[in-house]
Amino acid sequence: MESLITTLEGMKTEIDGLMQRLDIEGKRQRAEQLEAQAAAPDFWSNPDAAQKTMQDMSKLKAEVDHWRGVASHLDDVLELAQMEDESLDAELTQEVETLKASVERLSLQTMLSGPYDSEPAILGIHAGAGGTDSQDWAQMLERMYLRWAEDNGYKVEVLERMEGEEAGVKSVTMSIKGDYAYGYLQSEQGVHRLVRISPFDAAKRRHTSFVKVELWPDIQGNIQVDVNEKDLKIETYRSSGAGGQNVQKNETAVRITHLPSGVVVQCQNQRSMTQNRERAMQILKARLFELERKKRDVELASLKGENVNAEWGNQIRSYVLHPYHVVKDHRTGYEDGNTDAVLNGRLTPFMEAYLRANVNGGFVPAAAEADDL
């Protein structure tokens, strides 16, 4: 019984610290303030603002209730354990195991507390050096992320897809919707390297391919970015498809180039050119917003004297299929020898390792590890 009490007291200390770190009490007060606003007679005079307030209030209340519920449950179990009734040993042991799992999940949630971590995400995959092999690798990554999203209950919408000449894809952009999509996927942005015997080489030689993965929070209507129409080059083209009825006869796909930054976005999955243009503009604003945010982060880090590029190298992760099998993240050192499982979407352990290293400042410089594979 004494060991159970010690374990519960440790979990209570951890939960109290996490709640303080996330300012759960402050969020409770903010939820009450929003609830008071919602009770005002003229609250619905601006429906858009009112709906946003109700969404914020609901989100805050759900978060507060969840944390306070776990804390209350923990207090109740600790109180029972302190009674030192041996007849409760089996029941308390089971409760402690349940609480351990809850605390572990909540501990991970604190690592997803960035301003956009809870938002949907826009994921871009771009073939790099390696020709046809690289384009095939890009398609393999597309499948990997689709499997991960499917396994974790996320909804995916392919916004743009450019096929390779011989195989694979040159680029693909997809929207991934669901809780904390951006928070989890932030571990994936960077260059991914594949080492394998090329299926496109008659001599069966080993090839190395590179693909770049980009990520932006898909915050759509909440984003505030001023874009001058004079800075845009807007082009239309026919959407690509599988042939037959799937191919658009009209130029409904849209490509927008932001001339000052060189950022190019494309959208072809909507039914009309107007819808594709609207969605492309949303993606453009998200990308420009992310560029500006990262610029501010770099400036702030330079003021602190930090090496902001320490965790970014020519590749963040290597997938080796020959002469042995391993997937290794060069920033965290985490690796998995079951390459088939990883390429079929088992990415969450890599994501969690990244989040923990990010919180603890435990990144390994990518370049230092890259030569190991």
In the chain, list all ranges with CATH 3.30.70.1660. Answer: 121-218+312-370
What confidence category does residue 297 fall into, taking pLDDT thresholds of 50, 70 and 90?
low
Percent of the residues in the chain that have a pLDDT greater than 70, as a whole number: 86
pLDDT tens-digit series, residues 197-211: 999 888 889 999 999
> What 3-state class would DSSP assign to 16?
helix
Residue range 107-128: mean pLDDT, rounded:
85
What confidence category does residue 372 fall into, taking pLDDT thresholds of 50, 70 and 90?
very low
- pLDDT for 148 beyond 70: yes
Q: What are the contacts of 309-312 at 24+ separation with CB within 8 A?
A: 310/363, 310/365, 311/363, 311/365, 311/366, 312/190, 312/366
Residue 335: what pLDDT? 97
In the chain, list all ranges with CATH 3.30.160.20. Answer: 229-304
Residue 107 and residue 97: Cα distance in Å, rounded? 15
Residue 340 and residue 335: Cα distance in Å, rounded? 13
Residue 216: what pLDDT? 86
Beta bridge partners of 235: 255
- pLDDT for 172 beyond 50: yes
> What 3-state class would DSSP assign to 122?
strand
Please state, rounded to an integer, the average pLDDT across all residues of the chain: 84
Token digits of residue 84: 């030192």
Residue range 127-140: mean pLDDT, rounded:
90
pLDDT tens-digit series, residues 156-165: 999 888 898 8
- pLDDT for 369 beyond 50: no
What confidence category does residue 188 fall into, taking pLDDT thresholds of 50, 70 and 90?
very high
Looking at the domain that runs over 229-304, which CATH code has it been given?
3.30.160.20
> What 3-state class would DSSP assign to 155?
strand
Q: Which of 24-28, 291-295, 362-366 has the lowest mean pLDDT?
A: 362-366
What confidence category does residue 89 fall into, taking pLDDT thresholds of 50, 70 and 90?
confident
In the chain, list all ranges with CATH 1.20.58.410. Answer: 2-110
Q: Which residue has the higher pLDDT, 138 or 242?
A: 138
Beta bridge partners of 121: 176, 217
pLDDT tens-digit series, residues 324-341: 999 999 999 999 999 999
CATH class in words for 2-110: mainly alpha
Residue 88: what pLDDT? 79
CATH class in words for 121-218+312-370: alpha beta
Residue range 109-116: mean pLDDT, rounded:
80
What confidence category does residue 310 fall into, taking pLDDT thresholds of 50, 70 and 90?
very low
pLDDT tens-digit series, residues 254-286: 889 999 888 888 888 777 888 888 888 888 888
Residue 119: what pLDDT? 85
- pLDDT for 147 beyond 90: yes
In sign, the C-alpha dihedral spanning 185, 186, 190, 196 is negative
Phi, psi of 54 (to 5 degrees): -65, -40
